[in-house]
Structure formats: C-alpha cells, structure tokens
Chain A
C-alpha cells in the first residue's frame, strides 16, 4: 500500500471489524472517537480545525475511514475532511442508497454500503448458495483459491492477442474475470467490448486461481501489483 496510516473516525462495532481486516495493509491504524473535548486522547470533533491531524500525519499518505453510525454526523465528517484535505482518500460508511448518494456529494472517495452489501449477500446466499459459498471462502481466505489483480509489465507473452482468445485456464491455471485497461475502462473478460481491446502493457487483470498459479502467472508477465 502506498498509504502508511489508516485513520478510522468513529469507534463502534464496524470499527473493530474494519480494523481487524485492514490492519495488515497499513503501517499504523489510528482510531479516533467523536468527543467535543479535544483534550481527550485520540478524539475529534466535527469542527473545522484539523490542524492537529495534519501536524501529526502526512495526510497524502493516509486513508480516512468515516465510520460514524449517526448518518448525519458521518456525512458532516466526510464533508469536513474533504474541505480540509482535498486529496485525502476518504472511505465512508453508508447505511442506504440515500446516504450513499449524499456521501458521494460530500466528497467520499469510496463508499462502504452496509445495507446494500448485506442485502446482496443474503439474496445471493438464498438464490445462488454455491456461488456465495465459493466467493465467501475466497474472500474470507478459507479457501486455497485467491482473487488477485495483476498488472501487465511485460506484454511479449500476449502481444496483440485479445483476452477472450487466450486459453487462461488451460495454459496458465487461472481464470481472468475482468480487465482494467490503461485508460481506466473496464471489461469483463467475455463481454462483447473485450473483443475490441487487445492486451496491452499497463492493463490490470482481475483473476481467480490457486496461489502458486497466480505467482507463476505474475512471474510470466512481470507484475508490480501485490496480492
């Protein structure tokens, strides 16, 4: 990760789970509680004064997680942080679609849509139990299967080929789900659009495979991305 510090604003059950899951990707995770009394250690208020924070951290190297359970306060916090730090990577918790839209307007870089994600998980579990179990195991790292994103540095292997024409599974033991092109556009591997995009250096593949196969594939195309 490029960021050194994760700053989590709000101390609740969400915070505990997020901290548990992201801590290995940051040098430090700092949790701040909402408190009007700024003298309390690791606290913040919803005012405009963020000098303490910018004095303490290089905000360009930080990711901020706005995880307050009070929706209005969370939106206010997001807008305050965006106002103070225009380049800060802000990840905010949203309970519903309405909050998600407001947080986007408030300047959040990414949204963690709690209700929608949970609803998706429940419905998938009922409608597609096998798919859900497989993905659940991949995401929870209970399976040897991994999901990875790999950036192509050395394109001599796939020079001029189209993603859908490559025998990923037979030749490389991995399955590519989607490709993110250098210009930022995204294609699922077998979508009609992918027929018109030959593989180029700088493209990022999102793939599923066993760890060893992914490593071999990385060696083949010389990636800089991390798993």
Chain B
C-alpha cells in the first residue's frame, strides 16, 4: 500500500507541469550559466557574502547594533540555508529514481524494491552533500549558531562560496585542476622536505637552550617559513648543524618556489586559448541578430568589413590559419567547421533566434553546398546566401536550400556591359553604391507611426530635404512603383526608395516620425 502510494506520488511529481516548471526554474537560477537571470542571483549572493564578511571584521573591535547582528545571523544564514536546500533538491530527481526502480522491477515481474530505491536516493544525495562545493555551502551556514564563538570563523567559508558565483575563480581552479598530477608531485616533494627538515632542525636545536626552537611545532613552523622563501627571521637556527639544515632547506625552497611558479604559468599558457575560446563562445551565445559568415576568403573580408559598420558579424572557418587571419583582421572569428551540426551546438548558436542570415562565402561549391545543407537541417527559415564558383553547380545550391545565389562572374559581366554601354550611368551607380560621395540610396519602411503623419505621397516633404523619391515598393502587391503620383496612398509595410545626401536622408527619416507641420 505504502509502496504503491510512493510510486504514484513519484509519477505524479514527474508528470506535474507546475512541479517540473518550478524545479526547472530553480535549477536555471542556481546552476544554469546560460540562464539570463542567473547573473542577478549570483550578484545578490556575492553582495550578501561581502556584507557578512564586513560585519565580521567590524565586530572584532566595535559593538554592532542588534538589527545588524540579527540580519547577519538570521537573514543571511536563512538565505544561505534556503539556497543549500534548493540545490540539494534540484541536484537530482527522487521521483525519477523511484520510477526507474519501479519500472525495472515491473519489467522483471518483481515487487517494487523500496529499500533499493531509498538506497539509491541516499547515495545520490550524499554524493552531492559530500562534494566540495556543498560542504562549503554547509559550513557557510554554521555561523547561524552564533553563540559558539569558534563557529564565527566559519563566516570565512562564505567567502569560499564566491567560487560558485565568479567565473574567473572557476577558471583558475580548472587551470590548477588540469595540472593536478604535477601539483601532487610538488606537494609530496615539499611535504617530504618539510617533514625531514622539521625533524632534523628539532633534533639539532631543541636541546640547545639559546635556540628559539623548543617544540616540534616551532621546527615545523620554521621549515614552512624557510622553504617558502619568506623567512620572517623570528625563529632562526643557532647551532652549526641547524644552519647546515637551513642551507639545504633554503636551496630546496628555491626549487619548490620555481617549480610552483613554472607550473602555474605553464598551466595558464596551455589553457589560455581554451579560456579565450570559452569566453568568446559565452559572448557569442549572448549575441542577437548577427550575420554568420561561413568561410574566410577575400570576399568574406570585404563583406564583413562593410557589414560590421551597422551589424554584428561572426566568421566561422574550419582552417585555423584562415580563422586566425580573420581575428587579425579585426573580426570575431571561431575555428569550427561550418558544415558540422556539432559546431553550432558547441558554439551554443541558436540559428533560428540569433542569426539574421548565413553567408556561405567559401571558394568551394562543395563546401558551400555542405554548409547550406547543414544549416537547412537545423533551420528551415533562416536566410542563406551563397556564392557560386562553378556555374554548373547552381542547381545543387538551390537543392541545398540556398535562398540567394551570387555568381561573381555574372556580376562582372553586367558591370562590363554597363560600363561599355553607359559609362556615365555606370559611374553614377558605382558612386551611389560605394557611398563615397555622401550621396546614398536608401529605403525607408512605412510604419504605423509614419502613416499617422503622412498618408499620401503628396504629403511627404522630401523636396524640403533635397531628396529624390525614386519610387515606392508596395509590400501588399510585391511591386515597385517608380515615380509615384501625388495621390498614391501609403500603407504600412511599404518602402520608400530615396536618393539624397546622407545627412538629409537621416533628417528626412526623422521628420517622418514627427507630426506634419
């Protein structure tokens, strides 16, 4: 009966939307670095930690008000305790363990083994409780028992809690962890030296009345101070034998220090690129509305240079030399294969929501087709533009789902024709496109706000701003109307195509937002 109730309860919790939603929310806020609101929680906890430590320091020499002590002892501790319990809760799912066990037993035609499920639950929870981070969390709550004066020192464990909330500390610990074998070797070496030298100096000095080394602790303290090359000088050997020991300890100390320094430097050097990459990926995952250029060639450089003026651009290039070149050229570049789905997963790029357009600009149609297919398999809607190198591959790019194909040779053919047929017009269009003459051609979207002020072409004050209205693109009809009549009615979604001075275009665009005078 009880067993059946437990299993039913587990299924209820596992399928309850509100329960799962609440648990997911707390998991995100506590553990998920990608969750946008987690940083606010982290900042809040960091502030609490610093307040707590500041109170501890102030309390040493002055008497604090009751409310402040109450805040420190109860409020902060209760917040930390709540956090501890929530972490324990979200760390693993009890209901899932019970369901797994029940289904396992049902499959074998056995009765539900409750004790096995409970054992698993205890095992999982204890594993978390005994983890370093959870231990620190627990010790940080202990100052709650303020009456025990010794326990106040545990407030310092609250500082260790910073490990949870600051990434740079996590990075440092990951760097150190990467070299744990070397550090262990160093630790064993230093321990042996300290042990041997402590015993030696004790043997040599303890019976000498003029020596400050009386106890084994004095000897141990002296060894640590000497081997670390700090050398306070408060305890020094006075016998010749003791001094010989000191010489050896000093020489060993130089070795230990040099070894430690080189270890940390090497670990950081080795991890530097990885750390930079992680930081970059973190930044990319937070970016919105960017262009993703796949492949870094001359054309990619030119396109990125132009796009970056008003947009965010990321270059993804498989070749490390080219990816590095893109970085040196001042672009955000990542060395990943654009044709692999795992690249986008590793980079935490959500193509559907983050990417404005994908530009396949590699010098190889094979790579462009491959990349387009990969992207299309992730997102059906994202706009894909690709260059075409060999004319015969146009259909393949179309099949791969490319929305716009750019064939450079065709463009050059058109440019050659314009130049041969109408050199003056060619120059004019070239100047308009290159935007070097302060004269630009632009498109302005008609919004609800614009429409409230300007309903017809005749009402537009483009002439005041010396702007040529080339025409209107009617979105409803998907047609361009050149040189529209004064009576043409504007609609939301229409685009005005205008030519004029850059500054006047800006002023004209602003004027459309204001009420007509």
- On A, residues with C-beta under 8 Å from B are 1, 6, 13-14, 16-18, 20-22, 25-26, 63, 65, 91, 93, 95-96, 110, 112, 114-131, 133-135, 137, 139-140, 143, 145, 147-149, 164, 169, 173-175, 177-178, 180, 186, 188-192, 204, 206, 208-210, 227
Contact = CB atoms under 8 A, between A and B. Distances in A.
Which 6 A-B residue pairings sit nearest by Cβ, starting from the closest? A17-B413, A119-B302, A21-B417, A190-B466, A21-B413, A188-B439
A190 B498 CA distance: 11
Nearest to A189: B468
Nearest to A164: B466
Interface residues of B, number: 66
Contacts of B421: 25
22 contacts: A14-B413, A17-B413, A25-B421, A115-B298, A115-B299, A118-B408, A119-B299, A120-B434, A122-B359, A123-B306, A126-B291, A130-B443, A130-B473, A130-B497, A134-B480, A149-B424, A175-B468, A175-B482, A177-B432, A186-B428, A188-B499, A210-B482
B327 interface: no
B414 A21 contact: yes
A120 B416 contact: no
A150 B473 CA distance: 27
Question: By CB atoms of chain A within 10 A, which of B412, B423, B480, B500 has the most?
Answer: B412
B443 A128 contact: yes
Interface string B386-399: 01001100000000
A117 B412 contact: yes
Question: By CB atoms of chain A within 10 A, which of B311, B391, B432, B467 has the most?
Answer: B432
Interface string B404-447: 10101111111111111111110111011110011101110000
B311 to A, nearest CB: 8
A176 B356 CA distance: 35
B135 interface: no
Given A22-B416, A125-B404, 9 more contacts: A17-B416, A20-B413, A110-B419, A110-B423, A120-B434, A134-B497, A139-B414, A149-B424, A204-B424
Contacts of A65: 416
A190 B468 contact: yes
Interface in B337-391: 356-357, 359, 385, 387, 390-391
Contacts of B469: 169
A124 B427 CA distance: 17
